[in-house]
Structure formats: structure tokens, C-alpha cells
Amino acid sequence: MPAESHHVLISPLGRSPGAVSGVYFGLRERDTPVREVITVGTSDDDVQKAADYWLEPLFRSETDVAYRPRFITGEELHGGEQDVGPFTALMGLHIQQAREACHVVHVAVTGGRSGMGALGALAAQLYGADHLWHLWVERAIEEGGSVDRLHPPKDRTNVYLNPTAQGKEREAWELVALPFVDLTPLHGVIRDYLLEGAVNPEALPIGMQGILDIGQNEAHLQFVTCLYELIDHCFDVEELRTLCFGLGLDYDNLRGEGKTAKARELILFLNRRGHIAKLEGYVRERRPDVSWPAMPGVPLAQLPLLHGFVQASAAQLAQIFPAGLTVGAADRIMERVGTFKQAQTDERRLAVALEVGDILQDAGVYDRQVVRWVRDFAMQPATQARVRRLIEDARRNSDVPGFWQRILDWVSENESLAAAPTSVGEFLVKVAGMLVEWQTVS
């Protein structure tokens, strides 16, 4: 594990802050020092109080842990599009980012109402946590831990924030490991189906390639045959050797004698391992003037195990996948971009801009401090000073700071285009549309 890696705790947050901090202290009892705690909650006043009034000072007093509270715009988990999807996707974003940074990811599901715990467990499975935890505490601690009953101190000596302070001799708490399934190997399949309605064979996890005999799929067989014939025709022996080298293969180790036989074996070798798309991309890059065949998708109906998982749940998956800005959220943004362009009054344009802003907050694009500023200045002229302030504040408080750096670069390169919007709200709508476009392309 890289030296900079550490343990990260990600948890829903409700009205009982100890449901989060208790897991933190419980992990310390297991000699697992968590260095970063991230909570995801609603915008309910009591939930924000649990974060700002209790957890913030508690973790600050610990000195060796960073605390990052995050909130969706909804005050309760009422609707799939408005609240449930964004909550799951925002948890997923932090799980995914921690995983990509090679951290050890712990997800706790005790915080918040039972629905939040269920969504936390779903996010842990869909985005690949390392551990899933439930904290059991005795009834007295559970009943006295809500924000309307808590009393100082705001440190580890408070048993409602740290049940381990009772001592090991008392059975006041237990950290329970929960079983779960890591579904991250299916991300390529899910993404293909949500965007294209078909699955690229390259997206299949290695362990699932046996579900479909790709060689017996007629469209794929035609594709492979055409690819083989073009490679044999367009590459001489030395170029084929170079091609193999670029793919990490030894030309001389391929079976057969002569260029034609070697080209055939190269195709068969990569096809058996599900890496034919890599070859396709390689030859396209080196012979851009050739009309190469397009790799066909595999209809999901031919993948029985995945058919029920993906097709039956496509609408639900669109609300929680990918992490952060989901397919469903992207669709809602583009719908509102069109509505904004058609709006006839400032009042309607303001309402739509604020709706877009809420979607961006839910996706982790900026936080609640930026939301307040946007609400105050949404209909003010989009001067360069205001545009740059929005970008800088958003980048500083964003879960996706790289996006705002890209926007800043775009503004710097296109001053006149960036200044075209007449209001901060219109600029925000434009930025949201660019986010959807960039995410779709990437």
C-alpha cells in the first residue's frame, strides 16, 4: 500500500452524531486509525447541527483526523430523482475517489434513518468499499445521542459520541462487520448499457467472459474477420512485429509461419482474452486513412446473468450511476438548460438556474457555502470578477476541483465567450451543460 494511503470512514449522517463518531472510535479500538471522516447528510437543520456543532469540534480535538461534511439539497429522502439518487451517488463519489487514491475505505451504515443505511450499503457495493460496518450500542446511549438530547463535552470523553469511553469491561457497544458484494467489475457493463443499450465485450469482467462465447456471435465474428483481413493487407512483416511489440506481445511466439498466419494468431490470441478492442484502437491510430470496421456491441439479452441485473434495474441505476453526476442528473440538467433558453421572464430563469444549482450541489460539484452565494447573485450581471469568484470558491469547496480548473482554463482562453451570459445564473446553467458534455465525452 502506498505510503500516503490511509483509512477513510464514509458514513450517512442523521440527527445522532455518535452513530458516526462511534464507528471512528470503534475502529481505533481495533487498531485501525482513521485519518479522514466524510459524512453525507440531508440539509435538515438538525443534521447540519450534528455536523457543525458536534462532529466538527469533536474531530478537531482529535488533531490527527480530517472531517468533511457533505449535504444534498433535500431535507428528507422523499423522491428518487430529487433525494435518494443524489444521496447514493454522492456517497459513491467519495467511495470512488478514496478508492482511486488507494485509501482503505470503510463505510458505516448506522448514521441517519434506516433508509440512509440501506443507501449507504448500496453505495458500498456499487462503488467498492473495503469494509462495511454497523455500530450497535446499548439502549441508553442510543436514546441519549440525538442532537436534541446531547450535552457537552464535545470530545472523546462523552459516551454518547464515543461509546468506547465506557471501557472494554462494559458491553455498551459492538462494531459489527457486514457482508457485501463488490460490483465495481460491472461498471463497464452498466455504463455501456445505460448509454448505448448494448454491452461492449471489452467491458465484461474476465471472470464473466465465459457467459458469452464471443467467437460464436455472428456480428463479432464478421468484425474479427474483417479486422484480420485489413491488418494482413495493410501491415508488412516489420510493421506487424512493431504492432505486436506495442501490444506487449512477441511476434515470434505467435503460432504459424509467415505474416498471414501470424496476423491470424494475433487476432485469435487477443480475442480469446477479450482484448480485441485494444488492437482495434491501436491499428486505427497507425492507419487512420483505412476504413476500419466498428466493434459491435453485444445485446444484453445474450448475457443471461447480466440481463436481469442491468435491464430490469436500468431506470434505478440511472439515478445512482455513475458516482457524482449520474445519468439521471445529467438528463435533468439538459432538460433545464432547454427550459432556461425558452424562459420568458427573469423569475422563471431564476427558478431554473437555482434548480440547476441544486443538482450541481447534489453531485458534489460545489458545497452549501457556494449555494448561498449563487442564490444571492444568480440574477446579477456575470462580470468577470463575479465569474472568477464563483469558479474560485467552487473549486476550493468542490469534490471535483479538476472540473472547476477546467472551467477556469476555458474562461481564461475564451474571455469574450465566457462573458456572453448576461447573469451569474445563466453562466451557471452554461457551466452545467459543459459538465454534462465533458462527462459524456470522457
Give the tens place of pLDDT for each residue, 51-84: 999 999 999 999 899 999 999 998 888 765 678 8
**Average pLDDT of the chain, as a whole number:** 84
| Cα 47 versus chain centre, distance | 23
User: Is the four-CA dihedral 204, 207, 210, 215 of positive or negative sign?
Assistant: positive
- pLDDT of 207 reads 44
Give the tens place of pLDDT for each residue, 79-132: 656 788 899 999 999 999 998 888 899 999 998 888 899 999 999 999 999 999
- pLDDT of 3 reads 39
Q: What are phi and psi of 215, to 5 degrees?
A: -65, -20
How far apart, in whole angstroms, are the C-alpha atoms of residue 51 and residue 16? 10
In the predicted structure, residue 420 carries a pLDDT above the cut 70: no
Give the tens place of pLDDT for each residue, 353-406: 999 999 999 999 988 888 888 888 888 888 888 888 889 988 888 898 888 988
How far apart, in whole angstroms, are the C-alpha atoms of residue 281 and residue 270? 13
Which residues lie closer than 8 Å to 207 by C-beta, 6 or more apart? 185
Which secondary structure element, helix H or strand E, spans residue 137, and what is its range?
strand 131-137
Taking the complete model, does pTM exceed 0.75, yes or no? no
Give the tens place of pLDDT for each residue, 230-275: 999 999 999 998 888 888 777 876 777 888 888 888 887 777 555 7
In the predicted structure, residue 205 carries a pLDDT above the cut 60: no
| Lowest mean per-residue pLDDT among 11-25, 37-51, 279-293 | 279-293
Longest dimension (CA), the chain: 82
In the predicted structure, residue 284 carries a pLDDT above the cut 60: yes
- pLDDT band at residue 186 using 50, 70 and 90 as cut-offs: confident
How far apart, in whole angstroms, are the C-alpha atoms of residue 4 and residue 426? 41
- pLDDT band at residue 416 using 50, 70 and 90 as cut-offs: low
Mark residue 102 as left, alpha or beta (left: phi above 0; alpha: psi -120 to 50; beta: remaining): left
How far apart, in whole angstroms, are the C-alpha atoms of residue 385 and residue 391? 10
Q: Is 360 in contact with 390 (CB distance < 8 Å)?
A: no
- pLDDT of 199 reads 57
Q: Is 181 in contact with 175 (CB distance < 8 Å)?
A: no
Beta bridge partners of 134: 176
3-state secondary structure of 254: coil
- pLDDT of 302 reads 52
How far apart, in whole angstroms, are the C-alpha atoms of residue 373 and residue 30? 43
Which secondary structure element, helix H or strand E, spans residue 10, and what is its range?
strand 7-13
Task: Specify burial of residue 64 (Cβ count, 10 A radius: 0-12, 13-18, 19+).
Answer: exposed
How far apart, in whole angstroms, are the C-alpha atoms of residue 274 and residue 204? 8
Tally helices (H) and strands (E) across the chain.
20, 6
- pLDDT band at residue 211 using 50, 70 and 90 as cut-offs: very low
